[in-house]
């Protein structure tokens, strides 16, 4: 392989790497490809962000051709920390801190034979 073919191959590989790296970097920084002009100056942001109850909106704006667009984002719904409340832990949403069910508390029953109390809900023992 002569030197010109090696340089051409290296330039071709470098061009592919640069071409592939631009969209990945642009997408990572809140930018994407504009559907109108194809430039990587199409910025997007939430206004407002979706919450557990309310829908959100993504706004798009191209700094090159000034194209704008809006996209509806559905409400996220609650993200519960546990499936159901237990004796010691409340069930709450990790996004908005809404408490769905408070901790139940232990339901102690005295065991006279062994000399300790036992919780009927979770089986905890206390002496």
Q: What is the pLDDT of residues 34-61, one digit of tens each?
A: 888 888 878 888 888 999 999 999 999 9
With cut-offs at 50, 70 and 90, classify the pLDDT of residue 14: low
Q: pLDDT at position 100, please?
A: 95
Mean pLDDT, to the nearest integer, of 90-101? 95
**Is residue 43 a contact partner of residue 61, using CB atoms and an 8 Å limit?**
yes
Boundaries of every domain in the chain: 3-73, 91-126
- CA-to-CA distance for 111 and 120, rounded, in angstroms? 11
**Over 60: is that where the pLDDT of 23 sits?**
no
User: Phi-psi bin for 115: left (phi > 0), alpha (psi -120 to 50), beta?
Assistant: left
User: CA-CA-CA-CA torsion for 15, 32, 24, 55, nearest 10 degrees?
Assistant: -170
Task: Determine the pLDDT at residue 75.
Answer: 94
> Contact 80/99 with Cβ under 8 angstroms?
no
Q: What is the average pLDDT value for the chain, to the nearest integer?
A: 82
- Predicted model pTM: 0.59
Residue 28 has pLDDT above 50, yes or no: no
Token duo for residue 82? 């546990």
CATH of 3-73, one of 1.10.10, 3.40.50, 2.40.70, 2.20.25: 2.20.25
The phi-psi region of residue 38 (left if phi > 0; otherwise alpha if psi is between -120 and 50; otherwise beta) is: left
């Amino acid at each position: 392989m002569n030197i010109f073919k090696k340089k051409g191959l290296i330039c071709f590989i470098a061009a592919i790497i640069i071409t592939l790296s631009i969209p990945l970097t642009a997408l990572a920084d809140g930018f994407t490809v504009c559907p109108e002009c194809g430039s990587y100056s199409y910025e997007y942001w939430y206004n407002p962000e979706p919450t557990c109850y309310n829908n959100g909106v993504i706004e798009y704006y191209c700094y090159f051709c000034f194209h704008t667009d809006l996209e509806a984002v559905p409400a996220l719904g609650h993200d519960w920390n546990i499936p159901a409340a237990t004796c010691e832990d409340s069930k709450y949403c990790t996004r908005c801190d809404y408490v769905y069910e408070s901790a139940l508390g232990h339901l102690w029953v005295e065991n006279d034979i062994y000399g300790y109390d036992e919780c009927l809900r979770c089986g905890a023992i206390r002496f």
